Structure 1
Amino acid sequence: MRPLPRQRLLNAALATAFGTAFSLCSVSALAQATGQQQRAGDSTLPAITVNADTEESATGRVNGYLAKRSTAGSKTDTPIVETPQSISVITADRMDAIGATTVKDALGYTPGVSIAPFGADSRYDWISIRGFDGYAPGFYLDGLPLRNNGTWGVWKTENYGSERIEVLRGPTSVLYGMASPGGVVNIASKLPTAEPVREIQLQYGNDARRQVAGDFSGALDAEGKVLYRITGVVRDAQLPGGSSRDDRTYIAPSITWKPSSDTTFTLLAQYQKNRAGAYSRIRPAAGSLTPTRIGTYIPSDLNVGDPNFDHFNQDQKMIGYQLEHRFNDTFTVRQKLRHGKLEVDYRALQSPGFVPMDPANALSAENYRYLNRGVFGSQESTSSVTMDNQLQADLRSGDWHHKVLVGLDYQRTRIDQYTYSSPFGTPLLDIYAPVYGGTIDIPQPYVNGVSRLAQTGIYLQDQIKWGDRWSLTIGGRYDTAQSTNYSRLDGSTQRISEHKFTKRAGLVYLAPNGLAPYLSYSESFAPIGALDPATRTPFKPESGRQYEAGIRYQPPGGKSLYSAAIFDLRRKNYITYDATFMPKQTGEISVRGLELEATTELMPRLNLTASYAYTPRAIVTASSRAEEIGKQAMSVPRNRLSVWADYRFSNGLKVGAGVRFNGSTRGDAEVVAPAKVPSYTLLDAMIGYDIDRWTLALNLRNLTNKTYVANCAYGYCYLGTQRTAVATATYRW
């Protein structure tokens, strides 16, 4: 599709949406006002226990660990047991209990999710879902994409500003457009509430972590038609080793106007400023996974970068709104829009390798003492506009109920990028007596230009219920995507247009005893944005498809949800490179597995969350390089298990403990053979006390400070996160 017709389509959609809104004589949006914890008046604070069973919204606050509704799997307010695809919801209470300060921390007890594909990394929340990258093309915030282009300018989120984190596993393009075949992560922001929220939180932890946070919400008028919320964080911290700072400032104000019971409008914004070093634990495989030829290892606490050179500074701003109006019992319209701006200044020394100082003597200790490191840097400026327009129709005829959703979404991203890299030009690092600083040569850029991506999607979904027992979801979507890449290095411009139709279907049976077996099929796509050098025509979008069968069990009236799913997932048409390094669209990866998950209250005040993933197959089944076939593209252990339990005594004391097991692998592309990346088991713990208006907690992750290799790839290995300890004091009134 050419830019002119696309722009006309977009303009027509905007005019229709805004015209409808203003014809209502009010601007309105979905307030997502949720059942909140009672913040004052009772010295025992019963509303902050995890035993409450209230959930008024599929996007808002959940008291406790069990969410029963979600929009992630349908873009409508739908019970999770009626969604024919795997969903996990990590509530704010659960994040607090396990001491999760980042998104990947929060997902550490979620089936099918690896939170350490690159080990400890201060820069990003890298994760993989069902064996595929879950961080590109980006997370979602309130159902709108935080799009990245596979570069280093990646949007960050703040856990303290989140009500819940949702993971929808498997292809999701019918709902979300371009996406990874493994699934998507959606983060729901804290939004204004009618019930007062008044909270101050103090944190102190290792690595000189000092943080102050606040959350305030309530009504601005006597009738409760205007609500506000403001959430903020100020953090002064250091990265492990105490050599670089890790500071953050975050503020997220929002206001909701509810002129009537049928209409709401929420205006929301956020600003985040990060000033930090660039900390990772990358090592050569020889000296980390296996000993060097002389039997030595690189010290695990060594900073292989340079704190005098490395930094990762990021500023991001967002502003947008959410609009909802219900015309009658049949028709509801919704619109979401957000504009964002992101600036990143990143540079670091990386890719360390031993320098042979005595090449004539292979067993000389000097050959395994000094590291050379490459220099890398990127300055990026990203601006984006995302929008989603929806019309929902609830139609009834006898025992049949149709919830029809028609939508048009649009996203536009512009990235101005200046990136350089060189394997040379840095001082050698003595691993036993490191000295930092010195002259570092900055190379010329290998990328200096502007890339633009615009995508428009039209989708249709029908959720059909027959009586109280059967639920059928069917949907389809058509996307057009246009990418433009301009290079300042040679003055060239490349323009590519792509389009793709995706579909989805799923059937659920809702038994009276709480059992809900289901079957589903779903698809995904991702534009490649490159030309085939042989034909000078655009590559087709890569695609994904999944068959899934599962069963959920939600005992009537209980506080438990159990789920089991088996799936067959394929990524197709991705680019591989032959022996002459020519790109070929021949790649295919097959993943099959079983996932189990439980969230339950075993007895009053005793809560348990558990997950298990069994993945016997995650291999390349087609490639232009024969040696890749039969190997894993990304490392996926055959077995992954996690369990968290906590108990709250009647006197206010609370204790919790967790275990996370990750099975052995052979690393990405299995290039570390014959040595395996060994399995590892990590322990977490929590102890706390609730007294009057105070909630106190001490969380320890990797309790025993275990040193472990999280993954390896192409001659390098990544050590996992060391022990963290964070003490939190929260005061509510």
Structure 2
Amino acid sequence: MKNISIKLCAILLTSQTIYAQEITRLEEITISEQAYSKYQNEAKPELNRTQISKEDTAKSIQTFNKTFIEDAQLQNIEDIIEMSSNTVYTGDNHGRTNEISMRGFAGVPILFDGLKLTNKLAHSEVYNLESVEVLKGPDSLQYGQSSPGGLVNLVTKKPTKDSLAKIEFEVTDNPSYSPKLDVGGALNENKSLYFRLSSVLKYDEGWTNSNTDINRVFIAPSLAYDINDNNVITFVTEYTDEKTPSSFGTYVDNNGKLVTDIKNILSSPDEEFKKTQKIAGFDFDTIYDTWNSSFKYRYIDYVGDNGNVHISTLGYNKPTNSVNRFYAYQKQEFQEHALQYTLNKEVDIFNLKNRFTIGADYNKSYSKLDFFSARPPLYPLYLSNLVYEPLTSLNDHPNAINMSSPKTDIENYGIFLQDNINITDDLIFSAGVRYDEVKPKNSQKSDATTPQFGLVYHLTPQTTLFTNYSESFTPTSRQDKDGKILNPEKGKGYEFGVKQKLFDDSFDLTTSLFKIEKDNVAVLDLANSGGTFVYKQSGIQTSQGFELDLNGDITSNWSIIASYGYVNTKDKDINNNELRNIPHHTANLFTTYKLTALNLPDYYIGGGARYIGSRYANDTNSIELDSALIYNATIGYKKGNWKANLSVQNLSNEKYVDGAINNGTAGGYEWARVYVGTPRTILASISYTF
């Protein structure tokens, strides 16, 4: 309680100092509903279905815009998402997902243009992003099942009426090269029909000792039509065809130390992971003075083929300094239909402005898994002398066990109602409730009702106080001793924070105190296991902490994005241990400065750092991972239609762990299987806009 009080006082003192500053508001300039400084984004967040601004929302929301993403030369969506406070990336689950933990809790969903998908999309193309939005805390109201930590929304590039033609070429020292194209504009005289096309080709030899190069083809055409002044329909498509090395991670020993160089593949260097992903759909938007609506539909078709692998998931044997591997064949397929409807309506009730939002969602996803496993034989790999045997195929293992799952489907329904009430011009109260059903084929349905309440007070035009109570739920497929599916896990959170504008309103600061509890966590029921895995629903996990996020322009030449987060987590069922992969402290910084003072106004320099505190690789807290500090540096040139950038990612070549995927014991010693960060990479790009 003492720590919380100190942090609360710090927030209030910061705000009082800010109030004393004399602020001059500049005339607002709106371009396509977005008012950018360099790193500040004043557009209404697309993940907010209420269409209410960030200042009127009783939640902590960060937006990372395209300008920042391009200046920082970030290559993966996790590098962008991690810029938010109390947010860590823990791996990609064999190339299939981007695993994000936020405010202490894993399983953060990643939305696609404001649509929640049942199946996760991994490694979305950064070049096709307009921005990345992060919302903190439990929030199942607008999107249904979610993590108590928050959610992420990827905003893709959309058709533009203004003529656009941009070509870019990017190279790294891996080596790799990647030509990119972004074109758009009107197709008729009155500009009612307009398009956008974003495309990327990539060849990358990679930084590991794999014999498989990365080859990617990405193309995303979209087309919009203004039916009339109030109705617009937009058709969107994406196609990705990619081949990469397999991604099974490496190991740390019982002391949390990496057991081999991060460049070494511990499965087979000849393995390939092939991914084909197709997305198609449309947005139908209607806008009037007092109401608006949006109907969205997406169809996703995904095939992820690991093919033949010698998978190293049996653990690390410290006495022999080796890993044992076995043959497996894995191919995952899924298709999904996702629909979403949202209606926003302003109504005056008793002379109070009410902004009602009604939303409905429907998802139907199909999935299929081909999985064969053979052990014996086992293939030992001694890390002091890496000798890889030839990669085998399914034909070489006639006794392989078929562990495949037939095609099955899951249906999700959801509906919610929210009202934002202006009690005064400066005081806004919000309340909402949602009902969801999840229906797996040939299994028991899960349902949940989740409320949310919030209060926003505009203390001054530059200072906003907010507080909220919100809930989340996550269905589970785990069964109890009677074969009954357990109830969904539920999260509930409390938050108080301040949103502050600085430096002539071109700079945003958000600071929050939060406390979250997750219950109904499924834990192993050892008393009734009978040799099989059965679960009981009694687990409770908690997190509480403090965070600070800021972004924007300090001067016309100096832009910055930074964050700091502190979180304390506890697993009530395991001796109040800390939750796996969650550091107490995280911090991020990226800044650029135009060299106008040196009479070089077309040049800028920049750099940044990311700090990940120490954390545990297992639930028993017996394996601790070291903290890490990763530096980046950049120099760039912008003049007219030309832009060039040279950057170094992980400047000091820090060897660090992103997160642990599982753990166990072999040879009398504990181990954890982990994913590691990318080593030092030199990256150069040049672009020209016609």
The verdict on a shared fold, with TM-score over 0.5 as the criterion, is: yes
Q: Measure, in 2, the Cα distance between the counterparts of 1:379 and 1:667.
A: 28
Aligned match for 1:316, one of 277, 283, 295: 277
Greater shift, 383-392 or 344-353, is seen at 344-353
**Aligned pair 1:564/2:564, yes or no?**
no
Partner of 1:667: 617
Counterpart amino acid of 1:446?
A: M
Q: CA deviation at 1:420?
A: 3.8
Report the 3-state secondary structure (helix = DSSP H, G, I; strand = E; otherwise coil) of the residue aligned with 2:635: strand
Q: Report if the CA contact (8 A) 1:470-1:510 is conserved.
A: yes
Matched residue SS, 2:345? strand
Bigger shift: residues 590-599 or 239-248: 239-248
- Residues 711, 340 of structure 1: CA spacing in aligned structure 2 closer, same or farther, 3 A cutoff? closer
How many residue pairs get aligned? The number is: 639
SS in 1 for 2:592: strand
Q: Displacement of 1:423 after TM fit?
A: 6.2
The Cα of 1:229 is off from its aligned counterpart by 0.7
* Residue aligning to 1:722: 679
Which residue does the alignment assign to 1:619?
570
Q: SS of the counterpart of 2:130? A: strand
User: Of 244, 248, 263, which residue of structure 1 is paired with 2:216?
Assistant: 248
User: What is aligned with 1:260?
Assistant: 228
d(CA) in 1 for partners of 2:274 and 2:215? Answer: 10
Aligned equivalent of 1:395, options 337, 347, 350: 347
Give the residue type in structure 1 aligned to 2:111: Y
Q: Aligned equivalents of 2:687 and 2:367: distance in 1?
A: 40
Where does residue 21 of structure 2 map in the other structure?
A: none
Q: Give the C-alpha shift of residue 56 in structure 1.
A: 4.6
- Which residues of 2 match residues 178-577 of structure 1 at below 5 A? 178-241=145-208, 243-286=211-254, 289-290=256-257, 297-308=259-270, 310-326=271-287, 328-347=288-307, 348=309, 349-351=311-313, 353-354=315-316, 367-368=320-321, 370-396=322-348, 400-421=352-373, 424-438=376-390, 440=392, 443-484=400-441, 494-534=442-482, 536-555=483-502, 557-577=504-524
Give SS of 2:445's match: strand
* Cα distance change on mapping 1:670 and 1:89 into 2, 3 Å: farther
- Of the structure 1 ranges 264-273 and 66-75, higher mean CA displacement relative to structure 2 is found in 66-75
Q: In 2, are the aligned partners of 1:610 and 1:642 still within 8 Å (CA)? A: yes
Secondary structure of 2:167 counterpart: strand
What is the letter of the counterpart of residue 73 of structure 2?
A: G
Amino acid at match of 2:406: G
Q: Distance in 2 between matches of 1:72 and 1:375?
A: 44
| Alignment match, 2:589 | 643
Give the CA RMSD over aligned residues. Answer: 2.5
Paired residues of 2:268 and 2:391 also in contact (CA < 8 A)? no
CA deviation after TM superposition for structure 1 residue 466, in Å: 3.3
- State the distance in 1 between where 2:375 and 2:88 align: 29
In 2, Cα distance between equivalents of 1:65 and 1:52: 18
- Asked whether the equivalents of residues 103 and 543 of structure 2 are also in contact (C-alpha less than 8 Å), the reply is yes
> Alignment partner for residue 127 of structure 2, among 146, 150, 160?
160
Distance 1:119 1:322 in 2: 29
SS at match of 1:518: strand
CA distance 1:697–1:439, shift in 2 (3 Å)? closer
Task: Give the whole-Å Cα distance in 2 for the aligned partners of 1:127 and 1:280.
Answer: 17
- In the other structure, the counterpart of 1:702 is 650
Q: Is the 8 A contact 1:155 1:342 kept in 2?
A: no
Could you tell me how far apart the structure 2 residues matched to 1:102 and 1:230 are?
Answer: 20
1:64-213 paired onto structure 2 within 5 Å: 64-72=38-46, 74-115=48-89, 117-118=90-91, 124-135=97-108, 138-148=109-119, 154-213=121-180
**1:400 shift after superposition:** 2.5
SS at match of 1:94: helix
Deviation at 1:512, TM superposition (A): 2.2
Contact 2:38 2:553 survives alignment (8 Å): no
Instruction: Spell out, residue by residue over 1:113-132, the C-alpha distance to the aligned partner (whole angstroms, 9 max, x if none).
Output: 102x2499766432211122
Change (3 A) 1:239 1:305: farther
Cα distance change, pair 711–341 in 1 and its aligned pair in 2 (3 A): closer
* 1:649 CA displacement: 2.1
TM-score (normalizing by structure 1): 0.82
Selected match of 2:575 from 624, 629, 648:
629
> What SS does the aligned partner of 2:625 have?
coil
Moved more, 171-180 or 645-654: 645-654
Whether the 8 Å CA contact 2:315–2:673 is kept in 1: the answer is no
The 1:509/1:324 distance shift into structure 2, 3 A limit, reads: same
Matched residues in 2 for 1:469 and 1:269: separation?
42
8 Å contact kept, 2:490–2:518 = yes
Unaligned runs of 5+ in 2: 1-25, 664-670
Q: For 2:536 and 2:374, how far apart are their aligned partners in 1?
A: 27
Query: Using the alignment, how far apart are the partners of 1:544 and 1:179 within structure 2?
Result: 9
Q: Once the two structures are superposed, what CA deviation does each residue of 1:663-721 show, in whole Å capped at 9, x if it has no partner?
A: 11232314434xx3221111011111124421000122111111223444522153332
Partner of 2:18 in structure 1? none
What is the CA distance between 1:439 and its match in structure 2? 5.2
Whether the 8 Å CA contact 2:243–2:273 is kept in 1: the answer is yes
Residues 106 and 147 of structure 2 are in contact (CA less than 8 Å); yes or no, is this contact kept in structure 1? Answer: yes
Amino acid at match of 1:343: V
Which structure has greater strand proportion?
Answer: 2
**Paired residue type of 1:694:** W
Match of 1:732 in 2: 689
Identity %: 22
Q: 1:418 to 1:702 in 2, by over 3 A?
A: same
SS for the counterpart of 2:155 is strand
**Cα pair distance change 1:285/1:118, threshold 3 Å:** farther
Flag the 1:290–1:198 CA change in 2: closer, same or farther, 3 A.
closer
Distance 1:56 1:325, change over 3 A: same
Following superposition, the deviation at residue 217 of structure 1 comes to: 1.0
Q: In structure 1, how many angstroms separate the alpha carbons of the residues matched to 2:473 and 2:162?
A: 42
| Residue 557 of structure 1, CA deviation | 4.5
What is the DSSP-based 3-state SS (H/G/I as helix, E as strand, rest coil) of the residue aligned with 1:603? Answer: coil
The amino acid of 1:548's aligned partner reads E
> Please, which moves more after superposition, 432-441 or 187-196?
432-441
